[in-house]
Amino acid sequence: MELTSEQCRRYNRHLILEGFGPEAQSKLLQAKVLLVGAGGLGSPVALYLAAAGVGTIGVVDGDTVSITNLQRQVLHSTPDVGRPKVDVAKERMLAINPDVHVETYEYYLSETNAMELIKPYDFVIDGTDNFAPKYLVNDACVMLNKAFTMGGISKYSGQLMTHVPGSACYRCLFPEPPAKQDVETCAMVGVLGSIAGMLGTVQATECLKYLAGVGQLLTNSMLTFDALSMQWQRFDFGKRESCELCGTHPSIHQLKEYAFKPCKSK
């Protein structure tokens, strides 16, 4: 893909970046990424993917902006309260870079639409705050041989992992979601707003690395961050051969949506 003169100016810092260059930028421009959740994690993801020139970005979120979102969801502003998050996301992304195409889906990911939504995309980013969509993203992506990155934040900490076909999936580490009484939601315990930006930016970076084919991804590992001690830690784990989804003899062959939904998007 030959870049235009305007694109050469816009993406100059990528083009002169050692190990990246025009070839990697062309890959971004031709890529399709699906973002599930336009909240705290999704905010920096949406902004950086658009700025980087990812050709097609899909945004899935059935929520509207509330004033409680604004402490961490920097994609949205006070005048946006009451507006659909996907509409605000598209508006902000195109304002940053009209070079990209944004598809919006003003509803929540479910067992009835997940496969159809994810299928056309090259990479999926989970930015949700409950276990139902996380397991849907994981299971659908594994079944469709899609790569994804998954993040979560709570209080002063966060964690994330990346999956590519053949690597460990979310169920390798967490076979089933925890019981309702064991889950502390964002509305219950709070979250330091800047944590969303830190973890979401890492998710965006993982996506760009995957699309461009540079660096090493956070596969077969979990990256955690503790803001109080300002420490990042990486825990490696292997693909579980007995995994019900991606193991040697899988028992999960269709999507199952867990009824427990503590929150909407972060």
Q: Is 195 helix (H, G, I), strand (E, B) or coil?
A: helix
The domain ranges of the chain are: 31-236
Contact indicator for 143, 119 with CB cutoff of 8 Å: no
Mean pLDDT throughout 62-81? 97
Structure confidence by residue, pLDDT tens digits, 96-129? 999 999 999 999 999 999 999 999 999 999 999 8
Give the per-residue pLDDT at 264.
44
Query: Does residue 179 carry a pLDDT above 80?
Result: no
Query: Does residue 218 carry a pLDDT above 90?
Result: yes
The strands making up 221-226's β-sheet, listed across from edge to edge, are: 101-105, 56-60, 32-36, 123-126, 147-154, 157-163, 221-226, 231-236
Residue 262 — very low, low, confident or very high, per pLDDT cuts 50/70/90? very low
* DSSP secondary structure letter of residue 265: B
Report the candidate in 13, 11, 93 with the shortest Cα–Cα distance to residue 58. 93
- Domain 31-236, CATH: 3.40.50.720
Residue 1 — very low, low, confident or very high, per pLDDT cuts 50/70/90? confident
pTM over 0.75: yes
CA distance 20 to 205: 13
Give the per-residue pLDDT at 187.
62
Give the per-residue pLDDT at 129.
86
User: For residue 183, what are the CA distances in angstroms to 27, 150, 179, 186, 191?
Assistant: 39, 18, 7, 10, 14
Contact indicator for 109, 136 with CB cutoff of 8 Å: yes
Radius of gyration from C-alpha coordinates of the chain? 18
Structure confidence by residue, pLDDT tens digits, 16-28? 999 999 999 999 9
Report the candidate in 68, 67, 70 with the shortest Cα–Cα distance to residue 187. 68
CA distance 24 to 3: 11
Residue 74 — very low, low, confident or very high, per pLDDT cuts 50/70/90? very high
Give the per-residue pLDDT at 111.
95
